[in-house]
Amino acid sequence: MLIGTVGETLNSSPNPNKKANHVFVFLEIFAREGGIQSYVKDIFRGYLGLSGSYKAEVFLLRDSSGCSNPFESENLKFHYFQNQSSQLGRVKMAGVLLKYLLQKRPQHVFCGHINLAVLIQTLCQPLGIPYTVLTYGKEVWEPLKYQERRALASAAGIWTISRYSRDRACAANHLDPNKVKMLACAIDGDKFTPGSLLPELVEKYNLTDAKVLMTVARLWSGDIYKGVDVTIRALPQIAEVFPEVKYLVIGRGDDQPRLAQLATDLGVRDRVVFAGFVPTEELMAHYRLADAYIMPSQEGFGIVYLEAMACGVPVLSGDNDGSADPLQDGKLGWRVPHRNPDAVAAACIEILKGDDQRCNGQWLREQAIANFGIDAFQQQLLSLVKSL
């Protein structure tokens, strides 16, 4: 149900007459975890670090006020529209948002998902209020509906997370690449740090004296692009050089039985450890178990690579995706053809030998934080907001 009436929602600010600079509109941020949700939380964190003169109202279609929200403050006010009927929730949010735009005339509106772009264009364009559409990855890589393409083309700007996402979105939807600005994902260097192995985890996963490869990924049968199956196919070659190698797979999904059977068929089932779901707060301790983070994938960006590097772990990615940005075009890690087990095996062997600069954990961490730490993200956000 809608939390509060229209009047209550709009008057939640201690000073309702104070004009907000900006409006953010998102699908959901707190009801579930995911890459987009993590990215938006970084935006909130960065926004709150800007000058106190920046204030915004945030409209959340699928979240409720019961969600834990550490960002509620004088400078960020939240309005929730979770409803058992998604259509009714959308209508109610549109009504409240339109009233707000008419009354407050914010300087700029940020549309947090392509699925909201048509609504935002419909409300903002007649009022002459400029809007920017935030994109993340796969949701804009293929040709969109005509109305969605028109909403993107009519936007004052488009933000995205990587050069790859920009190029694919522009090619698929005939967008002007000059309109697209970069706001890369961020890594919290205080949260993800190197450290000693937890003996209980080593024992739990039977990793004593093992060389550990690791992947964090959803194991969905309809979404195998993370490359877990490719890494399993690479294991027999890797084991010839490193007989103690094991592969720790963190994540859950309906593809796990197929992956387990593949490992059995290849004779490496005893080397593959399916850890299942691991809460975000426990991920850091799991990264520390790894000698290498392996994900020959196709990512819009790949925040997991930064998490691993911040923990001092070398990384491997695919060579035709957004991981080019966190891996700095290969300067910080290995990039290989993402469906090629031979290439994955050869790179993993190089990583486990440890002779390359890209295996220097302290250097990796410094590079990752310098380019993608919270401070760098906030400077990037400030620059974009100032340019509006």
Q: 213: which strand partners? A: 247, 292
Which residue is listed with tokens 């409006």? 23
| Predicted pLDDT of residue 222 | 82
Q: Tell me if 288 sits within 8 A of 197, measured CB to CB.
A: yes
Cα–Cα distance measured from residue 26 to residue 144, given in angstroms and rounded to the nearest whole number: 19
Per-residue pLDDT tens over the stretch 249-258: 999 999 999 9
| Predicted pLDDT of residue 14 | 41
| Predicted pLDDT of residue 19 | 56
Per-residue pLDDT tens over the stretch 324-341: 999 999 999 999 999 999
| Predicted pLDDT of residue 267 | 98
Q: What is the pTM of this model?
A: 0.90
| Predicted pLDDT of residue 8 | 38
Report residues of the chain scoring pLDDT below 70. Answer: 1-20
What's the CATH architecture for 6-186+373-386?
3-Layer(aba) Sandwich (3.40)
Q: Tell me if 48 sits within 8 A of 75, measured CB to CB.
A: yes
| Predicted pLDDT of residue 3 | 36
| Predicted pLDDT of residue 366 | 98
Pick from 308, 296, 249, 310: nearest CA to 277: 249
Tell me the domain boundaries of the chain.
6-186+373-386, 199-371
| Predicted pLDDT of residue 225 | 85
| Predicted pLDDT of residue 4 | 38
| Predicted pLDDT of residue 348 | 98
Of the options 3.30.70.3270, 3.40.50.620, 3.30.70.3040, 3.40.50.2000, the CATH number for the domain spanning 199-371: 3.40.50.2000
| Predicted pLDDT of residue 20 | 62
Pick from 156, 153, 137: nearest CA to 145: 153
6-186+373-386 and 199-371: identical CATH topology: yes
